[in-house]
Each structure stands twice: as structure tokens, then as C-alpha cells.
Structure 1
């Protein structure tokens, strides 16, 4: 079966997966590059590892508020604060919303942030620059919790796209 023979649901599902994984990979690359180039790292594990969690939690809260108050309707005015909260992603968000790919906005942004944090941590672990104390262990647990929460949240918000797309890919 060629990609041109796919149904709408399968196509949307594949585009969602591509957006999520592409954002994750770009985030990891940026995180590794940032960790390599940033020479004056804080000596405190709390500052070094918990500060990058702020944008993830910030975006996560905005997404939850937008989804809960809009009732899942992406045409609702509740999405305006979500789109305008990050000026760097403004054009990206507008393009996705106006091309009908609105369901990707939240997942792509959150996966990019998670990728950045994973890249930052990965580079420090591989180059033996990690601060090894109780806060670092708590960071690992917190990062795992946030990552699982983001993946579950992305799955719940796009459950129809994922289930219909998977069924269509599997059974035609």
C-alpha cells in the first residue's frame, strides 16, 4: 500500500507520530548542543536540573487549561493563550492550526521540551559532568514522571486520531 492510498485517519496518525518524534529528536540535538556549548553551568543540582522542567510544566498547565475549558474544541478562544504563550512557536502554532493539524501543536511542543531536557541530561551523563547527589536522583524520578505524564496526556488528547489511525493502518 502506497502512502497515497492511506485513509485520512491513518495519514493524520502518521503525521502525528512524525511531528512528535521529529520534535523529540530536534529537542535532544539542541539539548546536547546547549550542554556542550554552555560552559558556566550552575554547581547546584537543583538549579541545573530542575530549571529546564519549568517550560515543560508551564506548557503542560496551559494545555490542560485550554483542553479542559474548550471542551476539546480547537476552535475555542481558550487556545489563544496557549498559542501566544511562547512567541518562538507562534508561527509554528498558527501554521498547524490553520492547516488542520491542530492536534499536533501540544504534542510537538511538549516532546521538543522533553527532548531538550533528555539531551541536556544525556550529554552530561556521557561526559561525566553530572552532579551526583540526592537531588539528581529526585530529578531522574521527576523527569520520568513528567515524561510519562506528557506521553499519556498527548495520547489522551489525540486518542481518536491514534485509535482510528492505527485501526486503519492495520486493517485497511
Structure 2
């Protein structure tokens, strides 16, 4: 008979999160969350439900957060995975979180239909509002500058031929 500990060991649970970098022109959509004493930026996405297909979870999350139909976007390639050890106070053992980050490109016409705010339901039933913002790549294409003050929509008014496309993953 195997003895199972009453409390799982730290990092023995693995949660999977799907997310995406959604590019429009030179900009990428990020969700800005203003918290007490800090501001966080995160790619749109969320946790995969038990038994849910990864691509279905990604499509659901992008529809919930951005109003994006992934069938209308170009791409959908898995770009990278991040294995994160999440630490937090409290009695629940900290989980590992596996982030699967995909890449999409959208046109200014599609961007004009997307949400500018995202609401996450908190455990107490209240909601946290996140703002969809654009971060612009630097002119040399090495990294990102500070978040633009306005929504991504303004940044997408550039001609679509200026879409930044990283080299294909081999």
C-alpha cells in the first residue's frame, strides 16, 4: 500500500496556462493590471481547464479577453514555454505553472473590433479590470519600449506591410 501525504509537496501540482502575443503592425497587445504599488503587463491568456484541449483553451481565452476569433488571425504558432514555480502565502502548496505562449498577427481592421478592457473574476466574486495596451518594438527591433499611453487601436493605423515577423522557428 502506498502512503500518500495529506498535503502535496510544493510544486508537485502543475497548472497549464495558454497565452498569446498578438501583433498588429509594430505593436503587441498586453494586458496592464494596476495593483497596489505596482503595474504588471501580461500577454492575454489564461488557465487550461481540466481535460480541455490546449488550442481550444487558447481560443477561449483570447475570445474572453480580447474578443478575438483566432480563425480570423494569422499564425497561431507555439513560440515558447516557460516553467514557472509560483510562490504565494497560505496553506495551499505552491504550484508549478507551465506557460505556453503562441504568436498571432492581426490587421488593423480586426484590431478595431477587439476589446480595450478585460475583466477577471476574483475569488470573492468581484472583478479586476485589465486594460489592453500596445507595446511598441524599438526602431532597431531589439526589445520593447514603454507601454504606449493610448490603446493599441491607434498603433494599428499603420500600413499592414509594416507587420513585424520574426524569422521562422526551425
Given the two structures, how large is their TM-score scaled by the length of structure 2? 0.23
Q: Which has the higher contact order (CA 8 A, sep 6+)?
A: 1
Name the structure where helix makes up a greater proportion of residues: 1
Given the two structures, how large is their TM-score scaled by the length of structure 1? 0.23
